[in-house]
Amino acid sequence: MNLYAVKAIFLFEMARTRRTLFQSIVSPVISTSLYFVVFGAAIGSRISEIGGISYGSFIVPGLIMLSILMNSVSNASFSIFFPKFTGTVYELMSAPISSFEIILGYVGAAATKSIILGLIILATAGLFVPLQIAHPFWMFLFLFLTAVSFSLLGFIIGIWADNFEKLQIVPLLIVTPLVFLGGSFYSIDMLPPIWQKITLFNPVLYLISGFRWSFYEINDVGVGLSLAMVLLFLGLCVATVWWIFKTGYRVKS
């Protein structure tokens, strides 16, 4: 494995975060704080507890997942789209570096940035509400798998998109609604029975449910099922990326 090439891509993408610190770190933290102010004050005054957990504490895992999903997709999609847009991706493809090493560098950097952001938001949340993490290992595992999975999804979107408008379509019209309807700010037990069944088709529900279980041992679906769905989604993303580089879809043409 060409570790020097992987390191070069990884450090270049991480350096971009330092150059856009406000957009990459400060802005999501401010947005999360506003969520606490709005949802914690407005809705929290009407919903005191969910599953024995105060509403402010209950939404913390959902807020972290919201930030991780959106930032993983946006970071990874832009990181590969911009070289395509400028034409430098062809220089990368002709370099002595394998497809796996390219993916490892770009996706690894996007996932790392998302994990760091998630931990910063977790620390920020501790300033607003009391927190407890019942299963730290499972918390980090769900954090890691989610960041990697959605960074791969962002990588796929970045390759598929041929303009800036398409780059925003999937995050805005698909990922964002799925996150908000996936139990980020509520338990699906609060929904009518028919909507509970419909929500079970939302893959993001399983991510948030498993992540919330690692905090408070409360969940909408079984933790084993949540982990299986995360691994299934990760496998689908890996298979799609493999097919893209095997066929050269929008990479070699």
Average pLDDT, the chain: 86
Range of 117's domain?
3-247
In a domain, 146, yes or no: yes
In a domain, 252, yes or no: no
In a domain, 226, yes or no: yes
> Looking at the chain, how many residues does it have?
253
Lowest mean pLDDT among 10-19, 139-148, 202-211: 10-19
Cβ–Cβ under 8 Å, residues 226 and 200: no
What pLDDT, on a 0 to 100 scale, did the predictor assign at position 30? 81
In a domain, 136, yes or no: yes
Residues contacting 75, CB < 8 A, separation 6+: 13, 24, 109, 110, 113, 114, 151, 154
Count of domains observed in the chain: 1
In a domain, 20, yes or no: yes
Of the candidates 170, 159, 169, 168, the one whose C-alpha atom is nearest the C-alpha of residue 81 is 159
Candidate ranges 6-20, 167-181, 193-207; pick with highest mean pLDDT: 193-207
pLDDT at residue 35 greater than cutoff 80: no
- Distance separating alpha carbons of residues 109 and 106, to the nearest angstrom: 5
What pLDDT, on a 0 to 100 scale, did the predictor assign at position 89? 75
In a domain, 159, yes or no: yes
Strands 53-54 and 49-50: antiparallel
Q: What does the pLDDT average to over 151-166?
A: 88
In a domain, 236, yes or no: yes
Cβ–Cβ under 8 Å, residues 148 and 234: yes
Q: What does the pLDDT average to over 126-136?
A: 87
pLDDT at residue 232 greater than cutoff 90: yes
Number of C-beta neighbours around residue 162 at 10 A: 12
For residues 45 and 64, the model is more confident at 64
What pLDDT, on a 0 to 100 scale, did the predictor assign at position 130? 83
CA end-to-end span of the chain, whole Å? Answer: 26
For residues 152 and 46, the model is more confident at 152
In a domain, 253, yes or no: no
The pTM of the whole model exceeds 0.75: yes
